[in-house]
């Protein structure tokens, strides 16, 4: 069996290690990437086929989906932002850095998306393993990111990396979670901010990690 990847000391440290609930307390009803990047994210999610029962992890007031899925659950830090999400059917406020578990039954989603947010997780492998648990076999976990972030809240390992290395970091999280087929990472065409997408399908058999 392959030994687990060891991340360098300090990789998951953050400049602001204070309570995320305080940082995300004020609602930010803003776009975190520009229009060209938003279009690229929407096109990617369309291509993956984000449909059925969908979880938008680390969500806010917009989920960047072009088509409304059958049922959209949004999970994030700020209730007012989630309340303002016009596509959401169900809203969950949860700090994944204090508790990386997801309050959902096994195999309850067809697709999970996470947009421009994976860099804020301090225990991302545990969260990705949970995504594997709540996804149905064959379901996709699709993540996108750009080159913008809240630098005090992003982990140091992310801040020290370039786009290519960040894609490798996300792919490593997915592999280490032990629930997915081999991840695919690609740079997507964008007229503005860069968009990097990583996705993997939930393996048909059980967890191996
Ligand atoms: C840059 S915003 C992106 C929001 C949204 N995904 C979008 O594309 O507009 C980062 C989001 O990550 C979420 N987030 C940050 N830290 C989190 C944590 N510890 N647990 C859960 N969600 C978190 C916040 O709610 C925030 O809305």
- Write out pLDDT tens, residues 118-173: 999 999 999 999 999 999 999 999 999 998 889 999 999 999 999 999 999 999 99
- Write the CATH number for 142: 3.40.50.150
Nearest to 128 by CA among 204, 53, 62, 202: 202
Q: Whose alpha carbon is nearest atom 2 of ligand 1?
A: 117
Phi, psi dihedrals of residue 168, rounded to the nearest 5°: -65, -35
For residues 167 and 112, give the distance between their C-alpha atoms in angstroms, rounded to a whole number: 18
Written as one string, the DSSP assignment of 7-51 is PPTTTT--S--S-HHHHT-S---S-SS-HHHHHHHHHHHHHHT--
CA distances from 55 to 52, 75, 183 (A): 10, 7, 19
pLDDT in tens, 75-92: 999 999 999 999 999 999
Return the pLDDT at 4.
82
Q: Is residue 15 part of a domain?
A: no
Burial class (CB in 10 A: 0-12, 13-18, 19+), 91: middle
CA distances from 75 to 61, 146, 167 (A): 11, 20, 23
Q: Is residue 125 part of a domain?
A: yes
Q: Is residue 4 part of a domain?
A: no
- From the CB of 122, is ligand 1 less than 6 Å away? no
Could you say which DSSP state residue 166 is in?
H
The CA radius of gyration of the chain, in Å to the nearest whole number, is 16
For residues 63 and 178, give the distance between their C-alpha atoms in angstroms, rounded to a whole number: 26
Mean pLDDT computed over 40-61: 96
- From the CB of 130, is ligand 1 less than 6 Å away? no
Return the pLDDT at 30.
73
- From the CB of 62, is ligand 1 less than 6 Å away? yes
- From the CB of 188, is ligand 1 less than 6 Å away? no
Buried b / exposed e along 44-77 (16+ C-beta atoms within 10 A): bbeebebbebbbbbbbbbbbbbeeebeebbbbbb
Q: Is residue 13 part of a domain?
A: no
Residue 206 pLDDT level (bands cut at 50, 70, 90): low
182 pLDDT above the threshold of 90: yes
- From the CB of 60, is ligand 1 less than 6 Å away? yes
Q: Is residue 21 part of a domain?
A: no
Mean predicted lDDT score pLDDT of the chain:
94
Mean pLDDT computed over 64-83: 97
Residue 209 pLDDT level (bands cut at 50, 70, 90): very low
For residues 138 and 121, give the distance between their C-alpha atoms in angstroms, rounded to a whole number: 25
Give the range of the structural domain holding residue 106, as residue numbers without chain letter: 34-201
For the record, the structure tokens of 47 come out as: 């291509």
Q: How far is the CA of 119 from the centre of ligand 1 (A)?
A: 9
Tally of domains within the chain: 1
Nearest atom in ligand 1 to 114's CA: 6
Q: Is residue 26 part of a domain?
A: no
Percent of the chain with pLDDT over 70: 97
Return the pLDDT at 1.
65
Q: Is residue 164 part of a domain?
A: yes
Written as one string, the DSSP assignment of 46-82 is HHHT--SEEEEET--S----SS--SEEEEEES-HHHH
Mean pLDDT computed over 52-56: 98
Q: Is residue 113 part of a domain?
A: yes
């Amino acid at each position: 069996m392959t030994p687990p990847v060891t991340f360098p000391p300090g990789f998951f440290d953050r400049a602001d290690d204070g309570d995320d609930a305080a940082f995300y307390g004020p609602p930010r009803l803003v776009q975190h990437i520009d229009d060209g990047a938003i279009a690229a994210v929407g096109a990617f999610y369309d291509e993956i086929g984000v449909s059925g029962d969908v979880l938008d992890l680390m969500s806010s007031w917009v989920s960047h989906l072009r088509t409304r899925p059958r049922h959209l659950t949004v999970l994030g830090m700020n209730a007012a932002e989630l309340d303002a999400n016009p596509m959401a059917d169900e809203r969950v406020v949860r700090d994944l850095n204090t508790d990386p578990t997801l309050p959902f039954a096994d195999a309850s989603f067809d697709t999970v998306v996470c947009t421009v947010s994976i860099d804020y997780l301090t225990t991302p492998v545990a969260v990705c393993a949970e995504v594997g648990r709540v996804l149905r076999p064959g379901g996709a976990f699709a993540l996108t990111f750009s080159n913008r972030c809240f630098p005090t809240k992003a982990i140091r390992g992310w801040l020290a990396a370039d786009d290519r290395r960040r894609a490798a970091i996300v792919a490593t999280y997915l592999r280490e979670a032990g629930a997915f087929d081999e991840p695919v990472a690609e740079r997507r065409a964008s007229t503005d901010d860069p968009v990097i997408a990583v996705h993997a399908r939930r393996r048909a058999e059980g967890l191996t990690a």
